Structure 1
Amino acid sequence: MRSPELNDDFFAAMESSIVDVDEAQMLPPSCYADPAFFEFEKEAVFAREWLCVGRESWIPEPGDYFTAEQIGERVIVVRQQDGSIRALSAVCQHRAMLVAEGRGKTRHFLCPYHHWAYGLDGTLTGAPAMERACDFDMSRHSLPAIRVEVWLGFVFINFDPDAVPLSPRLSAVTEVLKNYHVETAEESAYPGEPSKEYWNWKVRFENSNDGYHANRLHAGPVHNIVPSALASFPDLPSDTAGYFRYNQTLHMDASFNPTLKAVLPVFPGLTPDERHRMLFINVPPTLFIVGRSETLTYNIFFVHGPEAMSSQRGWMVPPGVSELPLFKERLQMNVDGSKPIFEQDRHVDEQVQIGLRSRYANRGRYSWQEKSQQEFNRWLVERYRSHWANLQRGRQAPFSQTSRSRGS
């Protein structure tokens, strides 16, 4: 694979990836494997879009926090004394030591290196032996604040202080989830450290998007209850920040376990039509949700490099279900039933990444069952072109520069 020359022709060629799905082809393979393109993509997408980093329920009390990493930036998400949530850079403003790791509960963040102390809001409250430093003003050395927004309990951050709010552009997705009442659903325990994966984030995101492979790669009695041929793709607003597809099932309350049916109580607000399908939701670039009648499953993606990412997976069920007899055992039936599917997908992601590095990798054509890929391409190409145009006009400094200027 040759590194692409980023020029007007390169981005113009992406037009063929956003036309009608029956005519469209995939993005150039270099978009998935080339380090130089990933550096461009970090600026075009990850420095300016809303990135999911976790769940509000992970930090229920004041002082609770968790850390997350996107594109090399370590972030702290912490519950304030007034109940609000703030996102802060985890980088100490003295010598760049990380002031927090993992998750926990604290009254303040203390840098273990030189004991600079920061309040929950990021304000520098203590800096030992700095009284001789000329013109040292503690108020100028707070942890940089990062924009944060919560949508249906999912916590998103945005490195761009001028970014357009997320929730209004997710109105269609919010509506399709209405009868699940996500705001009151019970959640599985904190899912632990993200699992490491060694492929491009778009490979993983597209696999999650893709219903075309479902009855082929996953052929068998469990996944055959959701035929690829019964997929449908609703029209959504042009400015939507998320996409979804329906997939009808062969019977009501279908589920991926040996019984092929729900083994937990279903979400009580679902209509008969909703109980007769599965729901696949994508909020690019970092969140994927699957809705069945008995569970909502989410995957949060963390992007680290051109061929490096990690993900966290969690479950949600109707209120009170976790108190029922044999709840853990029934939930485990669904976890175990999905595990072979998950492992097949991981193997494919690994092999696709190898193929994308090849000089023989092609810009393949799509089936109608892959319309989600064309929708994803449209979301991406709009951002690629916008950033390229701004770079050409000199209107947009690289993220590294804007970050330094905000923190100086």
Structure 2
Amino acid sequence: MADKTEAATSPWTETKPTALLVLADGTVIEGKGLGATGSVAAEVCFNTALTGYQEILTDPSYAGQIVTFTFPHIGNIGTNAEDAEDLNPAARAGAVGAIFKADVTAPSNWRSAGHLTEWLKKRGIIAMTGIDTRALTALIRDKGAPNAVIAHSPDGIFDVEALKEKARAWHGLVDLDLAKDVTSGQSSAWDETPWVWNEGFGNQGETWMHVVAVDFGVKRNILRLLAGLGAKVTVVPAKSSADDILALKPDGIFLSNGPGDPAATGEYAVPALKTLLETGIPIFGICLGHQILALALGGQTVKMHQGHHGANHPVKDHTTGKVEIVSMNHGFAVDRNSLPQGVEETHVSLFDGSNCGIALAGKPVFSVQYHPEASPGPQDSHYLFRRFADAIRARKDEMAPA
């Protein structure tokens, strides 16, 4: 192994860098470190959202990724316990690294309960500032999302050659099943309802339907919206069998978002889902759940060049003709050309024309690639949860004794 060396002092700063981003091609980008110390290999992506950095960094779909924020001022609103999206904060499921342009300033928001720097340290997220995020974003756009290592050493001493080798050796997200690492360890009930201004989150009252949510890396607000519509929600692990799920007597089955390669997760998720599809129970999928559903119906998924990560993506719903502004976070996509007869494309990205939704003709089975539970300003996509509830209600009415 190479001897440890001090990173060269950047000509643009008076002090030596305390953080490095080392790309698999050998490129070394210097910055100022914050958050956790050490180094971690992951894929680098960029996110164009202006707000919601805490929700982004705690989204389990970002496992195995380093998030570059294109908006320069991250951290101004601080952090709080309410904005976490991972189901089990102690497991620290979510992004492993973060890259910011400007230094994190003191929080200035009435909901803040802590500084972002300390929160990053507690979460185990390695971060860096002082980066030309516009140039890094352009690199990702042109060359694709690179494998890299992000490293933070307060003394500025790095084994640069070892970091380069670590970046080159990382296998990447293709063929990687990360859902098994972020899923729930056991089944659990959920009864928290959506946040209300000046009141906070609520607690569920009476329920009229039972939804079993298969947790591939589920976000909290998805479960809140289901509970808010009157669903008794049971969360089950990603590897739950069809028999396990059916034993719970669900009125509807939800397939959650999650990280990694859907083809890898599909090795155990697809066989179970194929059995569930035969029951006629309404099924709704989001993100990875959308991709798993497509695989179970005979489609295929592909790795994207740079992925979709942001809160300003325009998507057209072919079923209504409307355009929604949505939140996205995915590096894999459903190949529309692989969809078999009987599987309809319902939504499409207006950025690049990629598939963003499917439905099984004549059946209460549908899914979307984006995140309808997110509220990136408007709440354009919450109707999908009501569509799912309506499908459940219709089936319950159909099966009710005459």
Q: Do Structure 1 and Structure 2 share a fold, with TM-score over 0.5?
A: no
TM-score, scaled to structure 2: 0.26
* Highest RCO, 1 vs 2 (Cα 8 Å, sep ≥ 6): 1
Q: Which has the larger radius of gyration?
A: 1
Structure that is richer in helix per residue: 1
